[in-house]
Amino acid sequence: MTRVLGVGLLTAWGEGVAALPDDARRAAGERRVVPMATPAIAGERFRRATRECLLGVAAVGAALRDSALDRAAVAGSRTALVYVTAAAYGASNKRFIVAEAASQVRANGGPDGVVAIEAQSPGATEGAGRAKTGGAIYFPYTAPSSVPAEVAIEYGLTGGYVILVGGASAGVDALWQASTLLAAGDADLALVLAVETFEECADLWTRGRWVTPRPLVEAAACAVLAGADDADIGYGPGAASTLETLVTRRAGETLACAPLVELALARAAGMPIARVTGRWRGRRAQIAVAT
C-alpha cells in the first residue's frame, strides 16, 4: 500500500488542516467562491507565471516541509509527478479569450466581441487590451500542463508525468496513478499535486451552479508518496468515506484537491490507513493509503 510521507495544504482558509473552519458553508456566508491570495514567490522566472502555477509551486514546497525532505530528495527522474485539476486552467483561458475579443476591437473598430462578453460577464474585459494576455507569451499558460511544468522546472522533476482533469474522483485517480508508478518500481517518490482556482471564473461557476454546490473554496494541495508493501489499495468504486463527508463540511468544495485534504485530515487525526473517496459527475472512486 502506498504510504504518505507528507501533505502540503493551502486553502482559502489558510495553511494546513488547523486553518479549516468547522463549517465551511457557514464560514463562507453568502460567498459562492472563497478565493485565496497569490503566494509571494520571488524570482524572475515567475514573472509571467499564472496564479495557479504559483499555487502549485507553493503547495509542493509545503509538502516537502511536511515530509522533512529537501529539494534534492525529489529532483531527478526517480520522482513522478501526477497533477490533477478540474478548473485551474479557467482563469488563463478566460484571460486569453477576453484579450482576443479586445484585440478584435482594436483591429477592426467593432465592439461586438467585447459587448457580448460584457453582457454576460460585466467587467471581464476591463484592462484586457493593456494586459496583452492574448499574446504568444501567455498562450502556453492556457494549457493545464503549464502548472506541473512550472513545478517540474522549479524542483527539477524529470520522472513520470501524468496530468488528469476532473473533480474529486480524478483526485482519487491521481493517487492510483502515483501508486501504480511506485508499485511498478518506476519511481521512488511520487508527488500528487492538485490546484483549484475559481475566482476569475466565478460568474461562469454561478451560472453552472448545478455542477457543484457552494461554497467553492480555492485550494492547492500536494501529497508526497512512497511505495510500501503490496497490500490491496482497493482502487475502484465505493461509498462515501467519513473523510469525504468531513472534508466537504470543513473545507467546502475543493474539487480535485478534496482527496488530498482527506489525507491531511487523516494524518492529523492519527489514522494509520485512510480510505479516501471522491465524487464528480456522478462517479465516486476510492483508494486506501497508509498515512
Partner 1 sequence: MRRGGSSAVVVAAGVATPLGLDLDTFWSALCTGVDGISTIERFRVDDLRVGRGGEIKKLRAPRKGRLPRCRASALLILAADDLLARATLPADPARLAVVVGTALGGVEEGERAMVERGARVAAAALYDGPAHALARRLSARGPVLTVSTACASGATAMGVGADLLAANAADLVVAGGYDVLCRFVMRGFDALRSLTRERVRPFDRRRSGLLLGEAAALVLMAREGDAPRPRLGRLLGHASSSDGSHVAAPDPEGRGLAHAVRGALGAAGVGSDAVDFVSAHGTGTPLNDRIETAVLRRVLGARADAVPVNSIKGALGHTMGAAATLEAIMCLLASRDGVVPGTAGYEEADPACDLDVRATARAARSRVSLSTSLGFGGCNAALVLEGTA
**Whether the Cβ atoms of residue 3 and residue 225 lie closer than 8 Å to each other:** yes
The yes or no reply on residue 37 touching partner 1 (CB under 8 A) is no
The yes or no reply on residue 188 touching partner 1 (CB under 8 A) is no
The yes or no reply on residue 194 touching partner 1 (CB under 8 A) is no
Indicate which single residue of 26, 65, 71, 209 sits in contact with partner 1 (rule: CB under 8 A): 209
Q: Which of residues 66-85 bind partner 1 (CB under 8 A)?
A: 77, 80-81
Indicate which single residue of 14, 110, 213, 237 sits in contact with partner 1 (rule: CB under 8 A): 237
Q: What cell does 96 get?
A: 486569453
Q: What cell does 130 get?
A: 493593456
**Whether the Cβ atoms of residue 55 and residue 10 lie closer than 8 Å to each other:** yes
Report the nearest approach of partner 1 to the CB of residue 183 (Å).
9
Q: What cell does 102 get?
A: 479586445
Altogether, the residues listed in the chain come to a count of 291
Q: Which of residues 252-281 bind partner 1 (CB under 8 A)?
A: 281
Indicate which single residue of 65, 236, 240, 245 sits in contact with partner 1 (rule: CB under 8 A): 236
193: β partners: 83, 222
Q: How far is CA 17 from each of CA 25, 136, 221, rounded to the nearest angstrom?
A: 16, 39, 11
**Whether the Cβ atoms of residue 104 and residue 113 lie closer than 8 Å to each other:** yes
What whole-number distance in Å separates Cα of residue 20 and Cα of residue 26?
12
The yes or no reply on residue 56 touching partner 1 (CB under 8 A) is no
Q: Which of residues 97-136 bind partner 1 (CB under 8 A)?
A: 97-98, 100-101, 104, 107-108, 113, 116-117, 119-121, 124, 134-136
Q: Which of residues 131-160 bind partner 1 (CB under 8 A)?
A: 134-136, 139-146, 148-150, 152-153, 155-160
The yes or no reply on residue 204 touching partner 1 (CB under 8 A) is yes
Query: Where do the DSSP E strands lie in the chain?
Result: 3-11, 14-15, 33-34, 79-85, 161-165, 189-196, 216-217, 219-226, 236-237, 273-280, 283-290
Q: Which is nearer to partner 1, 206 or 245 (CB)?
A: 206
Q: Which is nearer to partner 1, 13 or 277 (CB)?
A: 277
